Amino acid sequence: MDSDIEEIKSRLNVVEVLGEYLRLEKAGANWRSTCPFHNEKTPSFMVSEEKQIWHCFGCGKGGDIFGFVMEMEGMEFQEALKMLAEKAGVQLQSYSPRKTQEKSRTLEILELATKFWEVQLWKGTGKDEVLKYLRGRGLRDETIKKFRLGYAPKGWRNILNFLIKRGYKIKEIARTGILVQKNNSADYYDRFRNRIIFPIADYSGKVVGYSARIIPNGDESQAKYINTPETEVYHKGRILYGLDKAKGEIKQKGWVLLMEGNMDVIAASQAGIYNGVAVSGTALTDEQINIIKRYTSRIKMFFDMDNAGETATKKSVKACLAKEMDIQIINLPFGKDAADLAKDDPGKLKKTVDESLGIMEYFFQKAFQKFDKKKVEDKKKIAEELLDIIANLENAVEKSHWLKKLSEELETPQTALTDSLKKISLKNRVKKKETYNNQTEPINSADKIDVLTQELIGLMFISPKSWQEMVEEVKSGKVLLKDKLLNLMLEKGQKSNFDFDKFIIVLGEDQNLRSKAERLFFEKKYQLDLNNNLKEIIIEEPLKKFRDCFKKIQKEIQKDKLSQLTSDLKLAEKKKDQPAILFLRQEINKISKDLKKLSE
């Protein structure tokens, strides 16, 4: 397994792997980006091509390509290993843990089901009526094939029987979400029946779920669209429809077209707009915004402008502003959605996208169209609507500009609007602080020892002499620490020649320890300068710093012991246990002397 890991890392460059998710820019000998794991304005996410590791100075996360993929994709180590092995063209040694095998089977079944429904559309019972409908919506055959649309025929067990004949068990098929369990019994039936199938893929193009539309003149008592429920591979809040096909174009153009439905993405693609994705009828989530942020910070929103669409747009705008995204709104002609416009006039669709408005300009137009500013009640409503958006703007100059404009348009003193804005802004700040910042508790002795131990490990990584000395200290029995990484360093130090790069190889597939080691090395080796460039830290006399740190740890350990002995002494005195009192006083005196020596 260790050889697999090193073979993959030798073939894949960390910059290329991370570059598929992030917009990296050169920063001296290294690369940088805004961190995908927390909100920040100034890039503090650094990638070392020399060491093949990454680190964020803002949130403290770091590691190698495996740790990054695990974090971004929510994968277990073995899943990330398999994915990166495929990318690197490395044949993995035999390994098939149950969880990974189950997920692999789920993806196999979904792929086979997709092919089955594609065949039903082109050669089966859907080839006449359903294909005619799709072509009538303006879709060309190559577009239908590109997005792998299919048809689930009438009947209760079509896909179920097909997959059972291919050797899959009912429980395996049920895990994909394409079956429904009948009244909590052992009986199952097809979830999708007489519906057009829209496969939903993850960022890499693997089918993870479906959205299924009722066919024209179908059973109108049924929901127009039904979707796969949440499964081990499908989490709707983390999926953006069409991202697998659009990600390259998004990075190239520097912006993403965010739409409401699957048909909008498909029709826009056919019209020549290839950087579109859809939220598939759900509210835009923080996770989806974070995914978009991997590729761009610029969003053009293209939602239906009925009441529901406008409400969704406003919610999405607020969520994006909280993540410091640059947003524009596309103002659709009345009664049209993106798919309709793409069918009727592809050129007009492109023109409409090009003429997108900045968010404040858009909401100002809407508010003053909706209400009469000459009426007092309407004036209050305009102010409420627009201040609610202005409060979410991060840039102070921009915020001041729009506040002044609102004051002029409403012929209302700016001070009155500022007071209302302060109340809204305060609510937003409190809410943001509660959700983002964790409550911090007073540092106790154990916490101090842990912090100092991390410092000690970092010093050992950059100073082989310190590492060697620590091994000797432990051999002499002076200190025993419970940190797993430190103990492995002491155990494997000689074998790895007290070298960080060789030690990482020794750690093998323990991703948690690898990430921790790489983070501590990076934090001790590099820092950000005043220009936000990565700068190597030059530590004068690292051995002396190591010894000072080691002495502090010993002091904290002794203070911890002293505190416990003092507590025990009070208890012994209360019980009048003379032998215990005598022993404890002797131990307290001994530790007090040791602490005095350590303080000298």
* 243-434 carries CATH number 3.90.550.10: no
pLDDT in the model for residue 415? 83
pLDDT in the model for residue 530? 65
Query: Whole-number mean pLDDT of the chain?
Result: 84
**What 3-state DSSP class applies to 372?**
coil
CB-based burial, 127-148: b 16+ in 10 Å, e otherwise: eeebbebbeebbbeeebbeebb
Measured CA distances, 528 to 15, 415, 459, 490, 537 (Å)? 19, 40, 18, 30, 9
pTM of the model: 0.61
Q: Specify which residues 188 forms β-bridges with.
A: 181
Where do the domains of the chain lie?
2-88, 98-234, 243-434, 445-599
Name the residue with higher pLDDT: 437 or 61.
Answer: 61
Question: What percentage of residues in the chain have a pLDDT greater than 70?
Answer: 89
CB-based burial, 248-282: b 16+ in 10 Å, e otherwise: ebbbebebbbbbbbbbbbbbbbbbebbbbbbbbee
Indicate the pLDDT class of residue 426, thresholds 50, 70 and 90: low
pLDDT above 80 (res 532): no
Residues 10-40: tens digit of each pLDDT: 788 999 999 988 889 888 888 999 888 887 7
Residues 393-415: tens digit of each pLDDT: 877 788 889 889 998 888 888 88
Q: Which residues contact 571 (CB under 8 A, 6 or more apart)?
A: none
The sign of the dihedral angle between the CA atoms of 412, 414, 419, 424 is: positive
DSSP calls for 502-520? HHHHHTTT-HHHHHHHHHH
Q: Which residues contact 469 (CB under 8 A, 6 or more apart)?
A: 543, 546, 547
Mean pLDDT value across residues 272-294: 84
The second-level CATH assignment, the architecture, of 2-88 is Alpha-Beta Complex (3.90)
Residues 310-349: tens digit of each pLDDT: 666 778 888 888 777 889 988 776 556 777 788 888 888 8
Measured distance between the N- and C-terminal CA atoms of the chain, rounded to whole angstroms:
49
**What 3-state DSSP class applies to 267?**
helix
CB-based burial, 110-123: b 16+ in 10 Å, e otherwise: bebbbebbbebbbe
Strand 326-329, strand 298-302: pairing: parallel
522, 524, 528, 538: which is closest to 50 by C-alpha?
Answer: 522
pLDDT in the model for residue 203? 81
Residues 551-580: tens digit of each pLDDT: 888 888 888 888 888 888 888 888 888 888
Count Cα atoms within 13 angstroms, Cβ side, for 50: 9
Q: Could you please state the CATH topology (level 3) that the domain comprising 98-234 is classified under.
A: DNA primase DNAg catalytic core, N-terminal domain (3.90.980)
